[in-house]
Amino acid sequence: MASATATPEPKVNHIGLPIVEYRGGKSTLCAGCGHNAISERIIQAMYEMGVEPERVMKMSGIGCSSKSPAYFMSRSHSFNSVHGRMPSVSTGAILANSTMTMLGVSGDGDTASIGMGQFVHMMRRNLPMIYIIEDNGVYGLTKGQFSATADIGSKLKTGVINELPPIDTCAMAIQLGATFVGRSFSGDKKQLLAMLKAAIAHKGTVMLDVISPCVTFNDHEGSTKSYKFMQENDEPINDVGFVASFDDIEIDYESGEVYDVEMHDGSSLRLRKLLEDYDPTDKANAVKTLMEAHQKDEVLTGVFYIDTKKPTFIDQLNIVAEPLATLPESVTRPPKSALDGLMASLQ
Ligand SMILES: Cc1ncc(C[n+]2csc(CCOP(=O)(O)OP(=O)(O)O)c2C)c(N)n1
Ligand code: SF4
Ligand SMILES: [Mg+2]
């Protein structure tokens, strides 16, 4: 009797989609670029969290990093804005439809150099958005000039040494009002995946600075954003574990003091303390810890700060629950009588 060899069904997530539905176009970035590894983790996190691709808005500015949204989630909405202007475009988009999940990908140049003015205002508003900086310390797309996150003493391939202090985007974001702030490394799959999944569950501004080596312009001896440097100097402050609300499993952890955070959607984030007495809800201490790390030339990673209670900008505006983008004109446009009344009141 001939045996029928049925093709196995692809594995699906809890909304019935296989991971292929979360993939994007083929990357045109250099092989080995950290940004490609981050796109892979975004795909995995969105798939494992069962986010509907059509409910996601992918935003970016300009740079190799900002090209990344083309390489994940082809079924999602996408807007590649002007250099450093992703925050204002994203603010408009999320106000128009706050029922969407907003994921922005920027670069260290796009954020901390040309885009700093927009970045700081985005952080102080606590808009519901995940803002990722793919941080390689250089302007990769324009051939490797230092960006404002480059460390003092870091050396370019040409031998030029950076003599200016770096801007710590995490310390800034915490101080300004972002409610979930952390740093990771594109080479640390486990930590980055857990942080991205927790970011998806968070309601408010998530700012993740992900060290993402540029293999073409900033991965040599003397660079402080290279794979080797990160492998030798990455100091995690907590071991990040995440369990989604629909999963009924325990986080697999070695013993140690833990800090549990309940997320808005019922998921839980468990941070096992690696740095003694580190409380991720203590804002002043988070900034102080980052400042001290700079003095010791340490690169801290992990979840530095989290606040699940602070209202978002959307909550503060007290706007209707229905997306503004889909409200009919009869609701959004005041009638002529209202305009006439206003004009009369000014006479
Ligand atoms: C208004 C404007 N100024 C300058 C440029 C040139 N430019 C393009 S990308 C870029 C820097 C990108 O660096 P980063 O954001 O760190 O991205 P990476 O390529 O390193 O991922 C610059 C200066 C531009 N496109 N537009
Ligand atoms: S130039 Fe650098 S940042 Fe750009 S794709 Fe290549 S490795 Fe990545
Ligand atoms: Mg860069």
Summarised one tens digit per residue, pLDDT across range 200-225 is 999 999 999 999 999 999 999 999 99
| pLDDT confidence tier of residue 253, bands split at 50, 70 and 90 | low
Q: Tell me: pLDDT of 249 over 70.
A: no
CA distances from 143 to 64, 158, 294, 315 (A): 10, 12, 27, 42
Distance (angstroms) between ligand 3 centre and the Cα of 147 equals 7
Other CB atoms within a 10 A radius of the CB of residue 6 amount to 6
Distance (angstroms) between ligand 3 centre and the Cα of 184 equals 15
Q: Tell me: pLDDT of 339 over 70.
A: yes
pLDDT in tens, 128-148: 999 999 999 999 999 999 999
Give the pLDDT score at 3. Answer: 55
Q: Is the CB of 112 under 6 A from ligand 1?
A: no
Q: Is the CB of 109 under 6 A from ligand 1?
A: yes
Q: Is the CB of 62 under 6 A from ligand 2?
A: no
Q: Tell me: pLDDT of 99 over 90.
A: yes
> Tokens at residue 70, please?
């083309």
Q: Is the CB of 307 under 6 A from ligand 1?
A: no
Residue type, 201: A
Alpha carbon nearest to ligand 2 atom 2, residue: 214
Give the pLDDT score at 277. Answer: 82
Q: What is the mean pLDDT of the chain?
A: 94
Give the pLDDT score at 81. Answer: 97
Q: Tell me: pLDDT of 264 over 70.
A: yes
Q: Is the CB of 37 under 6 A from ligand 2?
A: no
**Average pLDDT of span 256-261:** 82
Least confident span in 53-57, 158-162, 183-187: 158-162
Signed CA dihedral, 32, 34, 38, 44: sign only: positive
**Average pLDDT of span 11-32:** 98
| pLDDT confidence tier of residue 7, bands split at 50, 70 and 90 | confident
> Tokens at residue 308, please?
């699940």
Instruction: Give the ligand 2 atom nearest the CA of 36.
Output: 8
Q: Tell me: pLDDT of 2 over 60.
A: no
Q: Tell me: pLDDT of 164 over 90.
A: yes
Q: Tell me: pLDDT of 347 over 70.
A: yes
Instruction: Give the ligand 2 atom nearest the CA of 141.
Output: 4
Q: Is the CB of 134 under 6 A from ligand 1?
A: yes
Higher pLDDT pick, 255 / 234 = 234
Rounded to an integer, what distance in angstroms lies between the CA atom of residue 58 and that of residue 40?
Answer: 15
Give the pLDDT score at 286. Answer: 97
Q: Is the CB of 29 under 6 A from ligand 2?
A: yes
Q: Please, which residues have CB less than 5 A from ligand 3, an ion?
A: 107-109, 136, 140
Alpha carbon nearest to ligand 1 atom 13, residue: 139
Q: Is the CB of 27 under 6 A from ligand 2?
A: no
Q: Is the CB of 34 under 6 A from ligand 1?
A: no
Signed CA dihedral, 258, 261, 262, 265: sign only: negative
Q: Tell me: pLDDT of 270 over 70.
A: yes
User: Which of 28, 39, 134, 136 has the most ligand 2 atoms within 8 A of CB, as the residue to mutate?
Assistant: 136
Contact 133, 108 (CB under 8 A): yes
Q: E-strand spans in 222-284?
A: 234-236, 238-243, 258-262, 268-273
Helix 116-125 and helix 169-176: axis angle, to 10°? Answer: 40
pLDDT in tens, 287-338: 999 999 999 888 999 999 999 999 999 999 988 889 999 999 888 888 999 9
Q: Tell me: pLDDT of 256 over 80.
A: no
> Tokens at residue 8, please?
């196995």
pLDDT in tens, 37-94: 999 999 999 999 999 999 999 999 999 999 999 999 999 999 999 999 999 999 999 9
